[in-house]
Structure 1
Amino acid sequence: MKNVILLSLLYLALFSCSEKSNSEKKNNAVTYGESFDASQAKDISQLPALMKTSDSVSIVLSGTIEKTCAVKGCWMQLKTGEKNNLRVTFKDYAFFVPKSGAKGNNAIVNGYCVKQETSIEELRHYAKDAGESEETIAMITEPKMEYNFVASGVIIED
């Protein structure tokens, strides 16, 4: 009798896990970091207009992933349609995103965006993390004014 009860409980536990897994697959999205309301997302193309009156803004943005850090997954870049992509780092280094396989997927990021100068050293560090050649890294000789996003939560959709 004990075996029947144990088997029933095991079956129930396995069945519940598979249901959860299926519902995650239906959504085709994975959340990293803090959960947030993705319905508030603005398209990344609106960012320049949103940043005209301030050097920093709290916002939820949606855009296409151009690349992620190949070393740890500690940053990613979203396509902006402009010359420079938007670099997204993660608040307090509290979470990472996949190191590969995310390029081309849609991401929704929650946090704040800051317009700031990125130093030569930091630009070289990002280039190295992205797997750029030594020649390409050596060509970085000037700091760059750009938008940087610090995310407290990220949703990556397939």
Structure 2
Amino acid sequence: MMKKILFLVALSFVVLGCKNEKTEEKPAVEKEEIAINYQTFGDKITDENVLTKTEMIDKYKDLKPGDTVTVKFAATVKDVCQKKGCWMNLEMGEQEAMVRFKDYGFFMPKDIAGQEIIVNGKAYVEEMSVEDQRHYAEDGGKSAEEIAAITETKRTLAFEADGVLIPEVEK
């Protein structure tokens, strides 16, 4: 009888021991981070604490001529000055933001239209004269008819960038 009890106890240890060995802990799901390399223009900036285009549009709505706000946001490039890259327009919903570069200290590549970039600097609104609008239209490669059609000053979204990040395209 004692042998049977010892056999049952030993068997229960084996069964319980095997059961413990077979329990597997599921590995914790790790958040995968994708590193993006950037070309930096102007001051060195990071891709942290970047506002979305929608958040930036809300900030622009609150600005009056003469107001400025220092921000960093991401948006898609609509077009770039084709003479030397000295300005660019960013898509901002129904409008676009005209970006110039602090002290003309740096310029953009002319072929970045359609890319999402990050800009850092001062946002403001301005009343752009007909003359300035025509100048920028000419630099942007607009036709004579499009340039001639500009006849009124326009409230524009403006931005003076001190730093820009452009994602590097893998080749």
Report the equivalent of 1:104.
114
Contact 2:125 2:158 in 1 (8 A): yes
Report the equivalent of 1:127.
137
Count of matched residue pairs:
131
Q: How has the CA–CA distance of structure 1 residues 53 and 85 changed in structure 2, closer, same or farther, with 3 Å as cutoff?
A: closer
Query: Could you tell me the TM-score, scaled by structure 1's length?
Result: 0.78
Structure 2 Cα separation of the partners of residues 109 and 121 of structure 1:
26
| CA shift for structure 1 position 36 | 1.2
The runs of at least 4 aligned residues of structure 1 exceeding 6 Å deviation read: none
Structure 1 Cα separation of the partners of residues 121 and 61 of structure 2:
18
Report the equivalent of 1:38.
47
Is residue 157 of structure 2 the alignment partner of residue 142 of structure 1?
A: no
Give the alignment of 1:43-122 within 5 angstroms: 43-55=52-64, 56-82=68-94, 84-99=95-110, 101-122=111-132
Matching residue's letter, 1:85: E
State the structure with more CA Rg. Answer: 2
1:92-125 per-position Cα deviation (integer Å, ceiling 9, x unaligned): 00000012x2011111000011111011111001
**Greater helix content:** 1
Q: Which runs of 5+ in 1 are unaligned?
A: 1-25
| CA shift for structure 1 position 28 | 4.2
Structure 2 Cα separation of the partners of residues 68 and 87 of structure 1:
10
Matching residue's letter, 2:83: V
Structure 1 Cα separation of the partners of residues 144 and 123 of structure 2:
30
Identity of aligned residues (%): 39
- Provide the secondary structure at the position in 2 that maps to 1:96: coil
1:68-109 per-position Cα deviation (integer Å, ceiling 9, x unaligned): 000010011111112x2111110000000012x201111100
| CA shift for structure 1 position 48 | 3.0
Structure 2 Cα separation of the partners of residues 90 and 121 of structure 1:
20
- Provide the secondary structure at the position in 2 that maps to 1:50: helix
Q: Which runs of 5+ in 2 are unaligned?
A: 1-34
Q: How has the CA–CA distance of structure 1 residues 60 and 76 changed in structure 2, closer, same or farther, with 3 Å as cutoff?
A: same
